[in-house]
Amino acid sequence: MIPKSFIQDLLNRLDIVDVVERYVPLKKAGANYVACCPFHNEKSPSFTVSQSKQFYHCFGCGAHGTAIGFVMEHAGLGYVDAIEELARSVNLEVPHERSAAGEHHQKAAPDLYEVMQTATRYYREQLKISPRAIDYLKKRGLSGEIAAKFGIGYAPDAWQNLAAVFADYQSEVLSETGLVISGDEGKRYDRFRDRIMFPIVNVRGQVIGFGGRVLDKGEPKYLNSPETPLFEKGRELYGLFQAQKAIRGEQRVLVVEGYMDVVALAQHGVEYAVATLGTATTPYHVQKLLRLCEHVVFCFDGDKAGQRAAWRALENALPYLQDGKRISFLFLPVEHDPDSFIREFGKAAFEQRIQEAMPLSTYPRQSWKRYMTSGRLRASSQNPPSKKQGARRPRHSAVCCSA
Ligand SMILES: [Zn+2]
């Protein structure tokens, strides 16, 4: 028997659009994806996949189900084999009764989502009664409407805030969700203290982690939830849930470095931005974004770190470029990040920067050749370019690579 909690966890980690697309090429049609049905013969598509509901449905033959059902039907696998197959694709181990991994995943029950939801509500309530936190957001130019859209909250400056909403502060689920840290001698305390809280939400709108930003000078400036049964950094993008509609509408997505950037951009009407979560852009991110729209614009700070991040994004993106898809790199002036830039110059100036991104064909061939011959493109994508190579990137300019 495979525990129900594991199956739920597996389904929550999968995106049915990814799963179906391994077998059937999908096309966007409004909020859904469509294709000619793989289960019956037809000339016009009546097979639809709903990302928000996470199921597929054929209006022609009535085929219907979840990601698991699809793999069973399409690959002709049994229930257990289909689950094994899908679990492998997201690096989960199917629990067998006596394995340690099994115990781990049995506990990864759906109620972890409720825990995150309770914490989110608490942090939002706390924001409402903290003039200091409200003041901070106001100074950054954020409206209450935007704060609500992103579910922004505040974790007060105390060690056991969450004891106020979780009757059992010693409960395992609090450490499993990364909300609480166990220190020496079993003492527990909240991970997030005196921070602006940004809930990290999956494509279904469930909170799976938090990013916390200090209000003043403290360190670290940004603190994220650790990897948990709900949250895998390399597969999630901050703001994607809120941005999905705009990304489809605009047919482009802007990838930035911080959650504050995403929120500030949305505040100024650039609603198609997402952020990586303390990781480099992964191949998974790139694939996901290229499926949503035609044009992926990576926007990085003009400093050295930004240039290195851009280089890694480029290395991870190149293998996935197909006809009709474009990738650009936008470097802001060194003294700016997207948040400060759009606050100072506004939406039009920011979008002008995006427009000015040059296609690869006009990018100086010499420079491109140098990148190619540096061996970096063919080298393992796990190695960031050296500082020297990063420094070659031009400042104050936008570079677009279009294949
Ligand atoms: Zn059908």
Here the tokens at position 325 are: 């898809």
Of 83-87, 250-254, 391-395, the range with the lowest mean pLDDT is 391-395
What are the residues facing 358 on neighbouring strands?
Answer: 399
| CB-CB contact of 297 with 330 (8 Å) | yes
For residue 39, how far is its CA from the centre of ligand 1 (angstroms)? 5
Ligand 1 center to 59 CA (angstroms): 7
Is 392 a residue whose pLDDT tops 50? no
Average pLDDT for 103-127: 78
Q: CATH for 4-107, among 3.30.2420.10, 3.90.580.10, 3.40.50.300, 3.30.70.20?
A: 3.90.580.10
Q: What's the CATH fold of domain 111-231?
A: DNA primase DNAg catalytic core, N-terminal domain (3.90.980)
CB 59 within 8 A of CB 3: no
Q: Where are the domains of the chain?
A: 4-107, 111-231, 237-401
- Residue 101 and residue 333: Cα distance in Å, rounded? 47
Half-sphere CA count of 402, side-chain side, radius 13 A: 16
Q: Lowest mean pLDDT: which of 1-5, 28-32, 253-257, 299-303?
A: 299-303
For residue 24, report the distance from its CA to the centre of ligand 1, in Å: 13
**Minimum mean pLDDT among 67-81, 138-152, 278-292, 302-316: which range?**
302-316
Across 1-10, 25-34, 102-111, 163-172, least confident range: 102-111
Report how far residue 373's alpha carbon sits from residue 395's, in angstroms, rounded to the nearest whole number.
22
CA of 58 to the centre of ligand 1 (A): 5
Distance, CA of 185 to CA of 325 (rounded, Å): 54
User: What does each C-alpha distance from 343 to 109, 149, 222, 265 come to in angstroms?
Assistant: 42, 19, 20, 9
Write out pLDDT tens, residues 119-146.
Answer: 999 999 999 999 999 999 999 999 999 9
Mean predicted confidence (pLDDT) in 221-250: 88
Helix, strand and coil percent figures for the chain, each rounded to 5: 45, 15, 40
Token couple for 102: 């099994």
How much distance in Å is there from the Cα of 36 to the middle of ligand 1? 8
Question: Does the pLDDT of residue 167 top 70, yes or no?
Answer: yes
Compute, in angstroms, the gap from residue 29 CA to the centroid of ligand 1: 17
Residues 342-361 pLDDT 10s: 999 999 999 999 888 655 44
- Whether residue 189 contacts residue 182, with contact meaning beta carbons closer than 8 Å, is answered with no
DSSP character string of 357-376: PBPGGGS-HHHHHHHHHTTT
Distant-in-sequence, close-in-space partners of 292: CB < 8 Å, separation ≥ 6: 28, 244, 247, 248, 253
Q: Who wins on pLDDT, 378 or 202?
A: 202
Distance 41 CA to ligand 1 centre (A): 7
Does residue 100 surpass a pLDDT of 50? Answer: no
pLDDT at 184: 76
Identify the CATH assignment for 237-401 out of 3.40.50.10540, 3.40.1360.10, 3.40.50.2300, 3.40.50.150.
3.40.1360.10
